[in-house]
Amino acid sequence: MALQDIDPVLVMERLCFATPWSREAFIGEVRDNECAHYLVGETAGRVVAYGGFWRVLDEGHITNVAVHPDYQGLGYGKILLDALLRRAAELGVVSATLEVRESNFRAIRLYEKFGFEPAGRRKGYYADNGEDAIIMWQRDLENIP
């Protein structure tokens, strides 16, 4: 992800998330956060997916994964998550974690396909409705399914 990708990313943020990140947050991630690694997925010159992770020592924390609603169900999420995890492994990350809404069954199934397993719950994590987050871990990025 580069600074010029932020406008289409913000569109996806608003379409995909109840509490979207701000422009300033993405600028800070792309420009200033040395731990942050973000990718975009494009088709026909249009940004249709994005995701990112923070590398902290040998762990990765997936911060965002989103696919524009017009392109959901077409495999972009799988391609993006695969690229994120492989990039993390290239950087020496051996395990990765993320939080996902307990009601987001589509995302949970995708994460499970990549070896993520539920490891806990964050009660009331989502400010918009108080929904719990499921904490998931993938502890062996050397063997991504």
**Residue numbers annotated as active site:** 99, 111
CA distance 26 to 6: 7
- Tokens 């062996």 belong to 140
CA distance 47 to 50: 8
CA distance 139 to 96: 6
CA distance 13 to 7: 10
Both structure tokens of 8:
């289409």
Distance of CA 55 to the CA centre of its chain: 13
